[in-house]
Copies of this chain bind each other. A is one copy, B any other.
């Protein structure tokens, strides 16, 4: 049952994917579908995201990391909406010269993250690709009924918060592409932040409690704040001086001021951007700290419409050629 010594579809499932499928709804991947029931008072939350070789990851990236990123970018979406992960479906299209070692590493990456985030593979499809490998994951989460944190609830006067640090991934991508000197201090940190996002799942219940709007930052800080403004029918301001940056990102921007553009619009941060009514801002900060997630005030929501204003360190508005990172048009890995 092998083709040039490689396992077939059924063997791949048996060896590498069945062990990832826990009871009950996945039926151990021995049936055609999975079933899923929200717990009482909850509804299910659905999200699909794709990583394509040569577009979103490099051919020689470790398969464990590709698996982790493919899963985590979806979990990050759940986190940004106040939802908790329940399970996922995997559509894996493998390049023609795939190896069993690659699939083994990929499934190890999924296993480690399933363990860390407490979720299970529900079902999947493994097929061949005509070009590079493509990984598409559909994440299933849950949220108390009606409690999804939308993009559309921001109101004038709300405080804008962001988790963690911004810009590491966009700079890390440029380290990976060797656009920066590899020996830039902290290059490792930036690269790691680009390769392996950390979904802020512990913030989900805190968002449900206080946030008027939220999302995870994947298109870039300014562009994603623009999404919230647009859907909420408001505008707002972000102050560059308040945007939290890691020490390596800070050093890079000091030596190459142009890099600030990538910090603010580069995308792939997978941090949470949230708006919180002013009266709840302190409680939000307190509960976020208790949950172990760093949050920083970076601006505020204002009445009006149009793209948000970004103020530089001197308080002057910045202009961007494009406010947002378009995953479709860009070629981050070319």
Contact = CB atoms under 8 A, between A and B. Distances in A.
30 contacts: A9-B328, A25-B46, A27-B150, A30-B152, A30-B231, A31-B152, A32-B47, A32-B81, A32-B151, A32-B216, A33-B148, A34-B47, A35-B46, A36-B43, A37-B43, A44-B44, A46-B138, A46-B140, A48-B125, A48-B138, A49-B91, A49-B125, A50-B91, A54-B130, A55-B127, A91-B136, A126-B328, A127-B327, A131-B131, A134-B134
Interface residues of A, number: 69
Contact of A129 (B81, B127, B134, B145): B134
B47 A33 contact: yes
Contacts of A136: 48, 50, 91, 93, 125, 134, 136
A319 to B, nearest CB: 17
A202 interface: no
A78 B33 contact: yes
Contact of A48 (B27, B45, B91, B132): B91
Interface string A305-334: 000000000000000000000111101000
A215 interface: yes
A52 B93 contact: yes
A123 interface: yes
A33 B46 contact: yes
Nearest to A230: B30
Contacts of A77: 32-33
Interface in A137-161: 138, 140-141, 143, 145, 148, 150-152
A89 B46 contact: yes
A304 interface: no
Nearest to A81: B33
Interface in A244-281: none
A62 interface: no
Interface string A60-101: 000000000000000001101101000001110101000000
Interface string A285-304: 00000000000000000000
A166 interface: no
A104 interface: no
Contact of A35 (B45, B55, B231, B328): B45
A78 to B, nearest CB: 7
Contacts of A125: 48-50, 136
A55 B134 CA distance: 14
A8 interface: yes
A119 to B, nearest CB: 14
A92 B141 CA distance: 22
A122 interface: yes
Given A8-B326, A50-B91, A328-B8, A130 B127 contact: no
A275 to B, nearest CB: 14
A54 B128 CA distance: 9
A37 to B, nearest CB: 4
A326 B14 CA distance: 14
B9 A55 contact: no
Contact of A47 (B43, B45, B123, B329): B123
Given A30-B151, A34-B47, A52-B93, A327 B131 contact: no
